[in-house]
Amino acid sequence: MARLRARRPHFRTSWIARGAWAAIAEDGGYSLCNAGIIDLGGLTVVFDSMLTPMAGSHLAREARRRTGRGADLVVNSHWHGDHIRGNASLLPALVVSTEKTRDLIATLGPQQWADDRKTMGAALRDLDSPSTDVPANERALYRGWFEGTLAVPLPFSPVPPSLTFETELRIHGTQRELRILTFGGGHSPSDVFAYLPEGRVAFLGDLLSVGLHPSAGDGVPWRWAQILRRIRALGVEVAVPGHGPVGSDREIRHIEAYLHHLDRRAGAARRAGRSLAELRREPMPQSFRAWKFSAFYGENLARAYRFERPKGSRVP
Ligand SMILES: [Zn+2]
């Protein structure tokens, strides 16, 4: 049975630079993804709204506590439910993303929500069964995800963005400015990130994971690696990931290396005429074995196998 109250806090907030905080999801809480709070001076921006309206309400309170005002703008990094289902709790803020992400939230969002509600009861029971194949150190993370989803009060439907942009939106407060950007889709069909030039802080959504496998299940690994290269060229000192603790340029490089690894492995399998099933049976490299969301690795390989990197594009 879903618990209305999470076993753990939804997230913990920490100061990362002048006017910027990271809200980092706790395993077992109902946020699943991280968020950012940015005080531009007379303008408060929240980056991503988390998995549930309950976590979104905590985030709204936290934004007010840290900046002295409610959220004026909420940025949705991409359409996936764990980043947008708290939107309603942050209204009347304007919700911002790309037109493509808005379309995906409006078209695929309700179906993803219905599927999640239908399947997560059984998934939660499986998590408690002795035969579960979810590693012990990942169970709290999944439990919060499933329980949180099942605890959302009905009726519920995702709130889509009301303001969209093409490539960049600059938000000027009285003290600092924030750039909301997209370099296209890598993790999802359209990925938005925020860059705070003062402090060189990037809020990257699922373009970055730290200590967890990223998910390429809805993305294209080689395009994603190119996007990360362009983001690093901006100069990033503090990188807030969609999942996991706050990182830096170094952690962005790790994910770039991971994506190139997927490409190399999938390319070698293709050239050798090996099937996807054979590819999936290859052991995971030691350097990724401690990462949570280990089940994503096979699916990530499958995406690299399906979406071949065009010849001539750069690989380190
Ligand atoms: Zn995602």
CATH assignment at residue 38: 3.60.15.10
pLDDT at 6 exceeding the cut of 80: no
Residue 315's pLDDT band, with cuts at 50, 70 and 90, is low
Instruction: Report the C-alpha gap between 176 and 165 in whole angstroms.
Output: 20
pLDDT at 77 exceeding the cut of 60: yes
Residue 129 domain-assigned (yes or no): no
CA of 269 to the centre of ligand 1 (A): 27
User: Which whole number is the average pLDDT over 176-191?
Assistant: 98
Residue 112's pLDDT band, with cuts at 50, 70 and 90, is very high
Q: What percent of the chain shows pLDDT beyond 70?
A: 97
Residue 122: predicted pLDDT: 96
Residue 22 domain-assigned (yes or no): yes
Residue 162's pLDDT band, with cuts at 50, 70 and 90, is very high
Q: Which residues contact 30 (CB under 8 A, 6 or more apart)?
A: 6, 10, 50, 51, 52, 54, 55, 144, 147, 148, 151
Residue 131 domain-assigned (yes or no): no
CA of 303 to the centre of ligand 1 (A): 15
Residue 4 domain-assigned (yes or no): no
- The pLDDT tens digits of the residues spanning 233-258 come to 999 999 999 999 999 999 999 999 99
User: Which whole number is the average pLDDT over 126-134?
Assistant: 93
Residue 316's pLDDT band, with cuts at 50, 70 and 90, is very low
How many domains is the chain partitioned into structurally? 1
- Residues near ion ligand 1 (Cβ under 5 Å): 80, 206
Residue 25 domain-assigned (yes or no): yes
User: Which whole number is the average pLDDT over 105-134?
Assistant: 95
pTM (2 d.p.): 0.96
CA of 272 to the centre of ligand 1 (A): 32
Identify whether 92 is preceded by a cis peptide bond (ω within 30 of 0): yes
SS3 letters for 10-26?
CEEEEEEECCEEEEEEC
Residue 127 domain-assigned (yes or no): no
Residue 284 domain-assigned (yes or no): yes
Q: How many CB atoms lie within 10 A of CB 7?
A: 14
- Scored b (16 or more CB within 10 A) or e, 263-279 reads bebbbebeeeeeeeeeb
Range of the structural domain that residue 268 is part of: 11-106+157-306
- The pLDDT tens digits of the residues spanning 37-65 come to 999 999 999 999 999 999 999 999 999 99
Residue 116 domain-assigned (yes or no): no
CA of 82 to the centre of ligand 1 (A): 7
CA of 307 to the centre of ligand 1 (A): 18
User: Which whole number is the average pLDDT over 263-268?
Assistant: 96
- The pLDDT tens digits of the residues spanning 293-306 come to 999 999 999 999 99
Residue 27's pLDDT band, with cuts at 50, 70 and 90, is very high
CA of 84 to the centre of ligand 1 (A): 10
CA of 42 to the centre of ligand 1 (A): 30
